[in-house]
Structure 1
Amino acid sequence: MEPIRVLIADDEALVRGGFRVLIETEPGMVVVGEAADGATAVDLVRRTRPDVVLMDVRMPGVDGLRATREIAADPDLAGVHVLILTTFDHDEHVIEALGAGAAGFLIKNTEPRQLLHGIRVVAGGEALLSPGLTRRLVARLTDRTAPRLNPAALSQLTAREREIVGLVAHGLSNTDIATALTISHATVKTHVGRALTKLGARDRAQLVALAYQHRLVEPPDPVP
């Protein structure tokens, strides 16, 4: 199996070095490049085509959110997944990052094993949010005034698709869902793909947002 190719984008050399050591000592992962700003990150992504980009939010010049937006907008880079890493857990950063096309969001003080897990999750095409951020994010998303989906789009979902969308919204991976419902991983992937198409969602992160915005699942209790 080919190793997961990772690009590190952070303006602090010590942070990049720490991530490089962690990743390159992990079997099945390799670092293909480092960037100290967003513009360099986008250029390196186009040249190296990594599976995952660890992207800092605050960098000089082109920041991580703008760089993420550029990567997501390029059809030639459809296989590149951006995992936002930052010292800040502001809700607006999370929402803007997901809106820009990020596949996930983690705080830099995340445990090393959780970071490595996050890289594997987003490399597999799934969404990832820090557990501590998810509840607040969901509360913000459900409170925001956003265009409603066409009711016809919601009605197109089968009962099974609604069930699976709900599990995705609760943070389960395709493997977790397959185990919970006693169905194959391929079947889960098919249902998720159909739900994405029917609801017009770009990716799993947006699917989660839509699920809560349109009450396909009940939001968690607000954080005090």
Structure 2
Amino acid sequence: MKTKVVIVDDHSLFNDGLSLILKESGKYEILAQIYDSRKAYNLCNTLLPELILVDYNMPFLDGLSLVKQLRTLVHRSKIVVISMYADRREIEAFKAFEIEGYLSKTSPSAEILMSLDKIMTGESVFQVKQEPKTSVERDFFSLKKLLTKREVEILKALKKGYTSEQVAQELCLSYYTVETHRKNINQKLKFSSKIEFYDFLDTIELEEK
């Protein structure tokens, strides 16, 4: 029996990427992907998920406020916060609402899946996030110094939500060439997981202002 999951994250690429990773594991069924945190309470009350994954930093209703709401539901779901940046004080604030886990978006996909498996068997998992990376990697002008013109073109296409196959067709490249470029991008920008890469795509500006 697959674990029924709701994902709440306003970053569409990250939300979609996490959903894909969970589906591919074969252990999780995605009931809903929610991009507006204000809709989460009513949907969770209707769908009754076993697990709710919540982003910490969201507009309208932040992660802590949402968790506080969700804990008033009669149906008690396991709640896990997934954040880009977290320190012990933030984790302690969430622990007051008896969440089951606090995971880092920069953790490798396999580690996140393993942590969720532990949580679904009754364990609690809380990861203290390392210090955030410097802004160089998220600044377009600095990015152009690190990446080739072709790699930037591929990033722009991926940011639009294209798959590697669609990027290859759009740029008249082979699928394997696109995958090689993606591997080089990961190495240059030192991404530790697909989830971190999706979060990067959501937050980076790839056009000059």
TM-score range, shorter chain: 0.5 to 0.7
1:97 to 94, 97, 105: 94
2:75 to 77, 82, 87: 77
Structure 2 equivalent of residue 64 of structure 1: 63
* Deviation for aligned residue 1:104: 0.6
**Deviation digits for residues 162-201 of structure 1, max 9, x if unmatched?**
xxxxxxxxxxxxxxxxxxxxxxxxxxxxxxxxxxxxxxxx
* Deviation for aligned residue 1:100: 2.3
* Deviation for aligned residue 1:37: 3.1
Structure 1 equivalent of residue 180 of structure 2: none
Structure 2 equivalent of residue 43 of structure 1: 42
Q: Is 1:88 the counterpart of 2:85 in the alignment?
A: yes
* Deviation for aligned residue 1:23: 0.6
Unaligned residue ranges in structure 1 (runs of 5+): 134-224
Structure 1 equivalent of residue 122 of structure 2: 125
CA contact (8 A) 2:10 2:37 kept: no
* Deviation for aligned residue 1:120: 1.8
Structure 2 counterpart SS, 1:32: strand
In structure 2, relative to structure 1, the CA distance for the partners of 1:5 and 1:88 (3 Å cut) is same
Structure 1 counterpart SS, 2:38: helix
Distance 1:70 1:92 in 2: 20
**Deviation digits for residues 39-97 of structure 1, max 9, x if unmatched?**
212222111111111100111111111111111232x222x011100111122211111
Distance 1:67 1:16 in 2: 17
Distance 2:41 2:118 in 1: 22
Distance 1:44 1:123 in 2: 21
Distance 1:37 1:119 in 2: 23
Structure 2 equivalent of residue 152 of structure 1: none
**Deviation digits for residues 7-60 of structure 1, max 9, x if unmatched?**
111110000010011011112211110112332122221111111111001111
CA RMSD of aligned residues (A): 1.4
Structure 1 equivalent of residue 28 of structure 2: 29
Structure 2 equivalent of residue 109 of structure 1: 106
Structure 2 counterpart SS, 1:105: strand
Identity of aligned residues (%): 18
Corresponding residue pairs, total: 129
CA contact (8 A) 2:9 2:15 kept: yes
Structure with more relative contact order (C-alpha pairs < 8 Å, separation 6 or more): 2
Provide TM-score, normalisation by structure 1: 0.54
Distance 1:16 1:97 in 2: 21
CA contact (8 A) 1:87 1:107 kept: yes
* Deviation for aligned residue 1:4: 0.6
Alignment of 1:1-224 (within 5 A): 2-74=1-73, 76-78=74-76, 80-130=77-127, 132=128
Structure 2 counterpart SS, 1:88: coil
Structure 2 equivalent of residue 174 of structure 1: none
